[in-house]
Structure 1
Amino acid sequence: MRSASDFPARHRFVLAAARLLITLRHPLLVVRFARKMGYWPNPAAPERYNECMLWRRLIDHNPLFVTLSDKLAVKEYIRAVCPELEVPKTLWRGRDPDDIPSALLEGEAVVKANHGCDMNIFVSGGQPDRASIVRQLRRWLGKRQGRRNSEWAYWPIVPEVFVEEMLPLAGGEIATEIKVQVCSGVVCHVRAEDKEALKSRLFDPDGNPLAGRDIDYPREDQALPVTAGLVELIRQAALIAPRVAGDLDYVRVDFLVTRERLYAGEITVYSAGGYATWSNPAIMADMERRWRLDHSDYLRRRHSGLARLYADALRSKCLRANGSPEPVAVAEIHPPLGVPDPHDA
């Protein structure tokens, strides 16, 4: 391992100055981070997973993040990069909730806003009633997502509401969601969740269970059962996710699970607002090892002035720690996609 003295003094000075300036510019975010995570971050030269998320929120303003954070625009993105993957149908979209056709709220559907997270209303049998839905949508339309945690990619999104088909998710049988963590085209791990059974489990890309729990379902009795169908879908998701992620340095690719196949879910740029944790430290260490900031949009771009000095210093630090970055290979899907029929064995 190289000693600290091998790192040029000018780069050490630039990164130290950048840390001070970023901290002074965003004191509330830095203090909030320290309270949540239990340590003071280095937002200028991050090394830990949550520090890298903070750096992304403050420094790495990749224009693609806006598309990926827009719940409508991301559907077109997924269709373009991965046409084999089914995308839930949008039944209606618009700016005024009063314009939603009444017939769409009488059956089963999901009503969403496109400019934030946790903005979903599940409609079944006319409930919730139309007036309640419209009131909630108007509150969401007046809300600007991401201000508190500086999740800037939400800010340019033009707010809309839309009605989406309700998929028959395989809750209680397989899972409802599969979430894949990808760093520079490499799958770090996969999380399967059953929101109906309130269970989850972590897997490697081959479908082998990993030790550890996640913060949403921390107890051991909340471990999701491992079935052949679940393992097959996890392997498929692990093949698809790098293609969806492209050459991004880090992103989480989500899938919805039905009894027949995977559907595209969300692409998450700021997992848990940047404060995600796992009980198994090896999982976070693996992501920290694979997340190369020199694959980020910020360090791939040309800069001038003080920004150039900072970018050069941070690139040098990344090179010293990890060596020269290899080009990100874009994965290909291996069809067919779907749950295998046990009778075909």
Structure 2
Amino acid sequence: MRLSLLDRLLVRAVELYMRRSFRGLVKRRIKRAKGLNGKFSLAVPLSADDKFLWRKIFDHDPRFPIISDKLELRTWIAAEGIDVALPKVHWVGREAAEIPSELLIGRFVAKANHGSGTNLFIENEADAGAKLRDLGPEWLALDYGRKTHEWGYFGIDRRLFIEERVGGTFADVDVVRALTMGSWIGRVVRTVDLFGTKLGQVYDPAPDGDGLVLSERAPSVCNGVSDKPLPGTWDRMLEIAREIGERFDHMRVDFLTDGSAIWLSELTVYNQGGFITLAGEDPESRVSKAWDIRTSWFLTTPQTGWRRLYAWRLRLILDRAAEA
């Protein structure tokens, strides 16, 4: 991509700003790229992984904190008129000791609303209340996303909540994660028997079409490849993922399904903290090319100061690249 002298100077200045102001974040990105023998492009991001870094620093879409909040997401889904169920919430608060005792009996899920890894799945456990009294303060103290600068989680009003356990046993419920670039689906990762064998499947775009084909490799978050047939809810989940995805330049849409019902689990702004295994590192991959940051909040909303100049020139650079 050939740039004018003005654009070369601007890109160099923006990259210098990124390196100095986000030293640790940029250092981790460069280290990962070199470890994979890949290239990186900071101020004019080309690969999906570079676009994640750019999104963290520049693309502060005001919707991101709303949809990253597991409780506020429900309000957003309803306001957008998207026809999908979410697991019912039975209690919200900040003190686990205040959870009504009747909600701590049987099967349920306890969560914090502001990050990842703050989930407790209960199956008729007598000490559920004690576990939550120990975990609750720890969860609420977690400043999730700071280390990797996942901006969408900053400032979320941290709360605990009790959610219904959907479906049957753990083995009955699949976790399905669809990575969307607009309304196009670039990858689907399905996890089967999450708390048992933890097998899974990866579906990537067909080389010569828009459909998805099963990969022979296991998802990076699983122990092996599953041969479980696709659930009857598969097509509907992909339809919902596209409906949500078309509202953003990129979004990961997560579902739970028992084969007959679908529940939206969450929306993820920064997949795996900001990368896509294998495909995200390559600027020529279909996933990287399909992620068009020209439709992002930063490049479609008037900016101020030097960011205004940068956004204007970056749009022109990306326009020329798309036409080449």
2:288 maps to a residue whose letter is: E
Other-structure match for 1:274: 274
- Work out which of the residue numbers 4, 11, 15 in structure 2 matches 1:15: 11
TM-score (norm 2): 0.89
Q: Gaps spanning 5+ residues in structure 1: where? A: 325-345
- The 3 A distance-change label for structure 1 pair 25 and 207 is closer
Name the SS of the counterpart of 1:180 in structure 2: strand
Alignment of 1:65-144 (within 5 A): 65-144=64-143
Deviations 1:152-189 (A, max 9, x none): 1111100000000001257546x511111111221112
Deviations 1:293-321 (A, max 9, x none): 11110010112331111111211121012
- The 3 A distance-change label for structure 1 pair 136 and 169 is same
RMSD: 2.4
- The 3 A distance-change label for structure 1 pair 301 and 98 is same
1:303 maps to a residue whose letter is: Q
Contact 1:113 1:120 (C-alpha < 8 Å) held by counterparts: yes
Name the SS of the counterpart of 1:15 in structure 2: helix
Other-structure match for 1:59: 58
Other-structure match for 2:319: 319
- The 3 A distance-change label for structure 1 pair 279 and 290 is closer
TM-score (norm 1): 0.84
Cα deviation for residue 208 of structure 1 reads 3.4
Distance in 2, matches of 1:206 and 1:45, equals 29
Contact 1:111 1:120 (C-alpha < 8 Å) held by counterparts: yes
Alignment of 1:1-345 (within 5 A): 4=2, 7-38=3-34, 41-168=40-167, 172=171, 176-194=174-192, 195=194, 196-203=196-203, 204=205, 206=211, 208-217=213-222, 222-227=224-229, 229-230=230-231, 232-278=232-278, 285-323=285-323
Q: Which moved more, 1:93-102 or 1:7-16?
A: 7-16
- The 3 A distance-change label for structure 1 pair 311 and 281 is closer
Cα deviation for residue 193 of structure 1 reads 1.1
Name the SS of the counterpart of 1:84 in structure 2: coil
Name the SS of the counterpart of 1:208 in structure 2: strand
Contact 1:213 1:278 (C-alpha < 8 Å) held by counterparts: no
Cα deviation for residue 245 of structure 1 reads 2.7
2:226 maps to a residue whose letter is: L
Count, aligned residues: 314
Distance in 1, matches of 2:44 and 2:315, equals 10
Distance in 2, matches of 1:83 and 1:288, equals 27
2:227 maps to a residue whose letter is: P
2:114 maps to a residue whose letter is: H
Deviations 1:64-87 (A, max 9, x none): 000110000112222333442111
Distance in 2, matches of 1:280 and 1:73, equals 29
Cα deviation for residue 132 of structure 1 reads 2.0
Contact 1:183 1:250 (C-alpha < 8 Å) held by counterparts: yes
Q: Comparing both structures, which one devotes a greater share of its residues to strand?
A: 2
Name the SS of the counterpart of 2:20 in structure 1: helix
Q: Gaps spanning 5+ residues in structure 2: where? A: none
Contact 2:48 2:280 (C-alpha < 8 Å) held by counterparts: no
Distance in 2, matches of 1:76 and 1:317, equals 37
Identity level (%): 25
Distance in 1, matches of 2:323 and 2:238, equals 26
- The 3 A distance-change label for structure 1 pair 169 and 176 is farther
Contact 2:191 2:198 (C-alpha < 8 Å) held by counterparts: yes
Cα deviation for residue 224 of structure 1 reads 1.9
Name the SS of the counterpart of 1:254 in structure 2: strand
Cα deviation for residue 276 of structure 1 reads 3.4
Distance in 1, matches of 2:81 and 2:176, equals 17
1:131 maps to a residue whose letter is: A
Cα deviation for residue 283 of structure 1 reads 11
Cα deviation for residue 25 of structure 1 reads 1.1
